[in-house]
Amino acid sequence: MEHPVYFDNAATTQMSQEVIEAMEPYLRENFGNASTAYQAGEVCKKVLEETRETIAWSLDAKPAEIFFTSGGSESDNWAIKGIAGAYKEKGKHIITDKIEHHAVLNSCSYLEKLGYEVTYLDVDETGFLNPEQVKNAIRPDTTLISVMFANNEIGTIEPITQIGRIAREAGVLFHTDAVQAYAQLPISVQQYPVDLLSASAHKFHGPKGVGFLYIREGVTIPSFIHGGAQEKGKRAGTENIPGIVGMGAAVKSAMSNMRMKIRRETMLRNYMTEKIMHEIHDVRLNGHYNRRLPGNASFSFAGIEGASLLVLLDEDGICASGGSACNTGESRISYVIEAIGVSKEYAPGTIRLTLSKDSTRKEVDYVVASLKRNIARLRDEV
């Protein structure tokens, strides 16, 4: 290929040109502090609120329910620790599952050290969480359920509507980490009964270091970062105006062509999956076959080490990953792959290929050819 093939879009995406152009004035001439009263600050304050309205529109939410953060990890931490602290008089029990992002799992682990009790539910072999398990796990002292919208490693989309209804009927708050799903799938908080939702701009062609937390009106949550009165006193710190503007531009772009993008990425993902499954022996597709993110595909190949395969792919100019980018450098098998019961024969040979709106069939053909050649090499078949 004339250029590197980037198939690791679940880790991060390339900023689109329209996002860069939207940000540029706020990196140069419009550099005012949005919390000041003079004109330079008012310009930034105005675009800050316009972006809040854009994000609210994308979710069928109210602008007052959108709070800007530094990204998904901060949003997850704020949601889980904040709700735990605010509702501890009701109880100190939280429900989540075993394949959540580490921002959720480590927040729950932190709370356990403070005396909270966390129930970690199992998922099935496709990564799907049965809503009945959630219902059966609820206790009188349960204050929060946190289940991701879609898994970052295997792409499985969880039954958010059913879980949200169960939570609401039980009077328990429901948080979803939608970092992989927001701006990739249509999400309406009127349709999906969630109380808190996390998102991060760099997953949908926006800048890194900016995201938001949706907090349903009426939900009590304390400040996570203390200081000034920004974000209605909920999140102190001078606002990242260029990043927020870039996120707003990325949201507008994603919403304008979402259905076409979903259809195109799904077709390309299916094409890639079918080629790999038919042209390479001893391979399994991880995650749910149909209920998965449009561009996400995780494969486990028997008889090889995924880390070695990734090195060879990199030599061919292909960017892929073994799973979550947050776990890169770890030699052990991913906890997600363990949770869905991938056998020891296949689990070490796991890689993730994630597409974007810019991915092409020519790139897929190149990647599959590289996989065939390098897997045969690692299996000593050549």
Query: Could you list the active site residues?
Result: 326
CA distance 248 to 50: 8
CA distances 302 to 15, 198, 273, 347, 348, Å, are 35, 35, 16, 8, 8
* The token pair that represents 142 in the structure block: 């349960």
Pairing, β 318-319 against β 142-146: unpaired
Are 128 and 158 within 8 A, CB to CB?
yes
Instruction: Return d(Cα 328, Cα 155) in angstroms, integer.
Output: 18
**Residue for token pair 């890169």:** 328
Q: Minimal CA–CA distance to 305: which of 381, 382, 375, 380?
A: 375
State the CB neighbour count (10 A cutoff) for residue 361.
Answer: 11
DSSP 114-143: TT-EEEEE---TTSPPPHHHHHHH--TTEE
Pairing of strands 117-121, 93-97: parallel
Task: Determine the 3-state secondary structure of 87 from DSSP.
Answer: coil
Identity (one letter) of the amino acid at 354? T
| Distance in angstroms (rounded) separating the CA atoms of residues 119 and 350 | 28
Residue 142, strand partner residues: 93
Q: Rounded distance, CA 211 to CA 70, Å?
A: 5
- Spatial separation of the C-alpha atoms in residues 102 and 281, rounded to whole Å: 32
DSSP 284-296: EEES-SSSB-TTE
Alpha-carbon distance 1 to 28, whole Å?
Answer: 36
| Triad 213, 218, 222: Cα angle to 5° | 55
Token couple for 374:
């390098």
